[in-house]
Amino acid sequence: MTAYLGISAMGLMTPIGNGKAETAENLFKGDQTSLRTRDDLIPKRKVLVAEARGDTPALPPGLARWDCRNNRMLAVALEQMRPDLDRAITRYGAGRVAIILGTSTSGLAEGEAAYAQRLKTGQWPRTFDYVQQEVGGLSEFAKAYLGLTGPAYTIATACSSSAKVFAVGRRLIRAGLVDAAIVGGADSLCRMTPSGFAALGAVSATAANPFSRNRDGITIGEAAAVFLLERDAAEVVFMGIGETSDAHHISAPDPQGLGAAMAMRAALEDAGCAAQGIAYVNLHGTGTPLNDSMEGRAVHQIFGAQTPCSSTKAMTGHTLGAAGACEAAFLWLTLSRHYNPTRLLPPHLWDGAKDEDIPELHLNRLGETFSEDNRAAMLSNSFAFGGSNVAIILGRAPS
């Protein structure tokens, strides 16, 4: 038994890789090859997006009503840790394993296509079922897919959704309601999201350029990432989490980053870790003027200009409700001795044009490493509309 929960398994499907090995290789070399231009997402406009790599096989016939890309992406990630999931279910029982997932769009793309067909023909497609686009459908699908009978629900707090699941999973375990929790999230590309961000003037015509004075908006991506939390020790552990809600504005963050800073401090306190003990910060780093400005102030206030930082969204795009889980998975890979034996850090890809209004940060160059510390700790930020702020800390257990 350890004070922290072990993360005994992880699976992911992202724009930079399908599975741990491919994703790790491309994460540390700064791969941007999955960025592509599409003309079918925003009316009369082309937009650059980041598509998840790999195939998404059809679901088993008995689960056909849930068959949408969002659920298929989640299934791909779950299958990558199938042996560990089967072991946990056998060990604890199907009613003692929770599933807590985050999303913002669920299977909305299928709903959009179905409605378009209905407008054209007057008939809904035979294969469309409303559960495909229900927000709660993600966890209900996973529960059916894995044959679980315990707690299963979805969190939808926009871009902090799949970070908050770590706190919920831990509470259920600590309360004795379950013995293990599958946490994570998935979000797939659809028309509504890029159209909505475009209406806000927040979509960039080029790859996201976080923290540059030339930044002009986000690139939208898609991903799925899942984890198995248990009381048993594991190489990578869930150390702590901080959650705040500053409710500054429905879509704009507090300009001074007060809620963001409070979340990071709460995570450090929860983890029993000093700021100096953090080896790397995965920035929320969307590439929008307001987000990067406030986050830069908050991170500098707590970590100064020495702690290595980067935004990985220049590679993956902003994966929205899946961002928290996707970027926690990047921490997991960075901490893994097997997938990152040379201790590389995810690079910060940008044009190098410093914004003088943002305090100095240590933005990682390609090839930078972290020290050979037997117990490394790393933090990831996720900030959402409405002032929902989450910071999570993962660490490496002693060898």
Which residues are catalytically annotated?
159, 284, 318
How many Cα atoms sit within 13 Å of 273 on the Cβ side?
A: 30
3-state per-residue secondary structure call for 3-66: CCEEEEEEEEEECCEECHHHHHHHHHHCCCCCEEEEEEEECCEEEEEECCCCCCCCCCHHHHHH
CA-to-CA separations, 125 to 62, 111, 134, in angstroms, rounded: 18, 10, 17
Q: Which residues contact 33 (CB under 8 A, 6 or more apart)?
A: none
User: Look-up: residue for tokens 């030339």?
Assistant: 214
What is the per-residue DSSP string for 256-304? T-HHHHHHHHHHHHHHT--GGGEEEEE----S-HHHHHHHHHHHHHHHT
CA-to-CA separations, 36 to 24, 49, 52, in angstroms, rounded: 21, 6, 11
* Contacts made by residues 366-374, CB under 8 angstroms, sequence distance 24+: 366/29, 366/30, 368/308, 368/344, 369/342, 369/343, 369/344, 369/345, 370/279, 370/280, 370/308, 370/334, 370/343, 370/345, 371/279, 371/343, 372/343, 373/279, 374/398, 374/399
Amino acid at 145: Y
Which two structure tokens, joined as six digits, stand for 214? 């030339």
110 three-class SS = helix
Amino acid at 259: G
Dist. CA 152–CA 74, nearest whole Å: 15
At 328, which helix (H) or strand (E)? Answer: helix 323-335
How many Cα atoms sit within 13 Å of 48 on the Cβ side?
A: 21
> How many residues are present in the chain?
399
